[in-house]
Structure 1
């Protein structure tokens, strides 16, 4: 089952060695160790652009992983692959599933916002200005939540929210 780390840099190889050691010494079940191993192999394949192999590993990890929090990261990575392949509808499904298991995943919120923003831009190009505004509002809602969770991230999104008048500062509570 271990994936070869042929193209990994020093940091990736070090991570792999440390992860292997942790897997051996941590008091986890064999099932959890296998799930993590598949997840790690999926991440490695994904980093190399081997999306089909990455998906196979992620699906195996999902079959074995029972922890909702850990599953959220597997689902998120599956969503990333679908986004990379231009399959935005499928990507959204996986991002939503990730958020169901882990509502505090700002990167999933950001990626949902990016897809809605992209669709809003497409709607403008197709002369559908009303639809574009609905999509931009959805993007704004997801970006606001992502920024609330990670205030120092998503600077471009913060600028877009300000430039479009969608940035609303919370009322101070005294």
Structure 2
């Protein structure tokens, strides 16, 4: 089982290199890694299990974060709807790429965090509000998906990891809490 001990932290060279494209279909070892990444996220979101295994809650993780420089990410975004029995978006994406995106940008009101970053880094992280992605699932099937708002932000954050980019690279170093014109803060009423 993947735990926080397996997650490399900022400063590790693997986090700054462009990950290798994966060959489809995945081999058994790669499929196991994919399942483990998703299992980590689900476990980390269960308060009792997270405490038991000392996991920080996460909604996304990229293979480079466990020191495997391959283009694979896992996301597990729970639904906002308290009645929902299924997560809003939960899957492993192999060789994901953004094929189109909105001009409109958005960001999280509290900034972003990362399992590989152990410190608070204040600042708005501009992301596309809507994206269309193409990726392969674990079984090697090509998938296309439209995402918006929080799931879109999560996927963009994880794809950045595949390209050696950390979320704080996108924060304005001179004025981290300045909202660029046209940037919508997710969940804010003033738009």
TM-score of the superposed pair, with normalisation by structure 1: 0.31
Higher strand share: 2
Greater relative contact order (CA < 8 Å, ≥ 6 in sequence) = 2
Specify the structure having the higher radius of gyration (Cα). Answer: 1
